[in-house]
Amino acid sequence: MSHDFIEIKKKTARGEDGYKIVSVRMRDETIEKLDKLSALSNRSRNELINMLLEKAVDIVKVTE
């Protein structure tokens, strides 16, 4: 009897996909704005937060 094999690729361990879980406290007003933007753009809140933060960290100027 001939056996065909089903290939199953091993999953990467949690946290090894280049992402980390971060918990952040936000004001209700900020969440409401994100939710509105999420609905308008058809993107998840998580995706929007990542997109916005990726841009923001490049334009921040630290002063004394």
In this prediction, residue 1 carries a pLDDT of 60
* pLDDT over threshold 90, residue 50: yes
Residue 42 is assigned to a structural domain of this protein: yes
Residue 46 is assigned to a structural domain of this protein: yes
Domain that holds residue 55: 28-59
Count structural domains, the chain: 1
Taking only the tens place, the pLDDT of each residue in 9-48 is 887 777 677 888 899 999 999 999 999 999 999 999 999 9
Residue 11 is assigned to a structural domain of this protein: no
Residue 38 is assigned to a structural domain of this protein: yes
Give the torsion sign (CA, 42, 13, 26, 54).
negative
Q: Cα angle at 16 between 53 and 50, to 5 degrees?
A: 15
Yes or no: say if 34 and 49 are a contact pair by the CB < 8 Å rule.
Answer: yes
Residue 18 is assigned to a structural domain of this protein: no
